[in-house]
Amino acid sequence: MSTASPASPRPLAPLRLNGREPGRFAIMAVVNRTPDSFYDRGATYGFDAALAAADRAVAEGADIVDIGGVKAGPGDEVDVAEELRRVVDVVAAVRERHPGIAISVDTWRAEVGEAVAAAGADLLNDTWGGPDPRLAEVAAAHGIGLVCSHAGGLAPRTRPHRVAYADVVADVVRHVTAEAERAAALGVPRDAILIDPAHDFGKNTRHSLEITRRLDELAATGWPVLVAVSNKDFIGETLGRPVDKRGVGTMAVLGVSARLGARVFRVHDVAGARRALAAVEALLA
C-alpha cells in the first residue's frame, strides 16, 4: 500500500484533447443515448434530448462530453448497427455546435470507434478494459485519445460474481499501464491516453472503496487518471442510498479522488462537480 503523502500537488500528467490542455481537474459529462440508463432511465435517449444535454453540459463547464449508446449493465441486446445509429449523429451534431469541446464516446467496439472518429470524436472511452484490441488501433489511426480501463477480464455488459483479487489495486495498475503502453506503441498520442480503474466494473463494493483509498498509486504511474464514480452502486451500498440519492456521496468521492491525484471526472451533475472540485483546488493551492 502506498505511503506517499498527497499533501503537495503532484505535477500534472500531460493531457491534450481536441488540441487543448484542460486545467488541473477536467469534467467529463455523461450523455446517455440509451433508453435504459441506470441513472436517467432514458431521459436523454432521443436525439434532441441528447443534444440538449450536451449543450447544457457545455454551458455548465464540462471539458469533455462523453456520449454512450449502450447501457453498461445487462439489458436488451444492442448490436453494432444500433449502437452506430444512437451515437454517430449525436457526435457529429455536438462537434458542429461546440468545436472547442472534447468529445468522448463510450464504446468497446472498433467498428463504432472508427465511425465516431470520422464524425469528430476526440477520445474513445473503453470502459470494459480492452475486449477488442482493435479499438486502440483505431485511436492510433485517427490520432485521437483512448481510455484504458480495468474490468478484471469481465465480458462487456455482465456483472461480477464472487470476484476476487489478491490485491485489486496492483491488478488494476498492472492492467491499465500495460494497455496504455500498448496504445502508445501503436501510435496513440501519449498525452491523449488516460487510465481508469473502472469502479464497480469487475469489482464489488469493497474493491471499489479500496481503489478510491489508494488512487494515488494510479496517479503515481504518470498517466492521467479518469474516475467514473458518479452515483455508482458502491456509493449506494456504502451509504444505503438509492440511485437518486447518491449525489452527496458522489461529491465526497470526487473530492477524495481529486486530492489523491485524479485528473478527469466523469459525472452526471456537471455544475455540482465543478463547484466541488473548485473547492478542492482552492484547498490544495
116, three cell numbers: 465516431
- Domains of the chain, by residue range, sit at 26-284
Is the pLDDT assigned to residue 219 strictly greater than 70?
yes
Instruction: Compute the average pLDDT of residues 160-184.
Output: 97
pLDDT at 285: 84
Catalytic residue status for 203: no
User: Can you tell me the distance from the alpha carbon of 51 to that of 54, in angstroms, rounded to the nearest whole number?
Assistant: 5
Q: Of the listed 214, 232, 263, 274, which one is catalytic?
A: 232
100, three cell numbers: 472547442
Catalytic residue status for 232: yes
What is the reported pTM? Answer: 0.95
Residues counted in the chain? 285
The CATH number of the structural domain formed by 26-284 is 3.20.20.20
Residue 131 neighbours by CB distance under 10 Å: 14
pLDDT at 9: 60
Instruction: Compute the average pLDDT of residues 262-278.
Output: 97
Tens of pLDDT, residues 35-83: 988 888 889 999 999 999 999 999 999 999 999 999 999 999 999 999 9
Q: Of the listed 109, 214, 266, 274, which one is catalytic?
A: 266
